[in-house]
Amino acid sequence: MNIGETAEKSGLPAKTIRYYEDIGLIAPLRSANGYRDFGAADLHKLAFIARARALGFSIEDCRSLLALYEDAGRASADVKRIAQEHLGRIEEKIAQLQSMQDTLSDLVQACCGDHRPDCPILGDLAGALTRKI
């Protein structure tokens, strides 16, 4: 299977698949003409990675998860730990964003948004120094 077909079936851009080979996540065979030749196992791996990426796992997490997936003697605790750490980072990020959202939605509400220059949003930003941020 050439890279084009593989890209279509895995849902990943061909560029991304080449990149994954570069960094050693996958290792497709090569045809006589130099083209990459993907097998079912490669496609499976790519779909695995795509799903993990969609859940926000980093490439290095993906590498670890793939290794665990292929290790029949793994302990599920190792997988769970990676997922829990990732979940923690996600929760942290959500909290950060919600804090921004809270402040911003207050400011946006307070701004009448007309032709006049007075604006509590700019007021907040400009007051940063006085408030020591």
Partner DNA sequence: TATTGACCTTCCCACGACTGGAAGGACTAT
Partner DNA sequence: ATAGTCCTTCCAGTCGTGGGAAGGTCAATA
By the criterion CB under 7 A, which residues form the site for DNA? 2-5, 13-16, 18-19, 31-36, 53, 58-60
Find all residues with CB under 8 Å of 38, minimum gap 6, and list them: 1, 2, 3, 5, 6, 28, 29, 46
Give the C-alpha separation, 70 to 44, whole Å. 12
Nearer to DNA, 19 or 98 (CB): 19
Residue 18's binding partner among its own copies, DNA, none (Cβ under 5 to 8 angstroms by kind) is: DNA
Contact 43, 10 (CB under 8 A): yes
Q: Which two tokens stand for residue 87?
A: 């979940």
Nearer to its own copies, 24 or 73 (CB): 73
Nearest distance, CB of residue 119 and DNA, angstroms: 22
Nearest distance, CB of residue 104 and DNA, angstroms: 16
Nearest distance, CB of residue 106 and its own copies, angstroms: 11
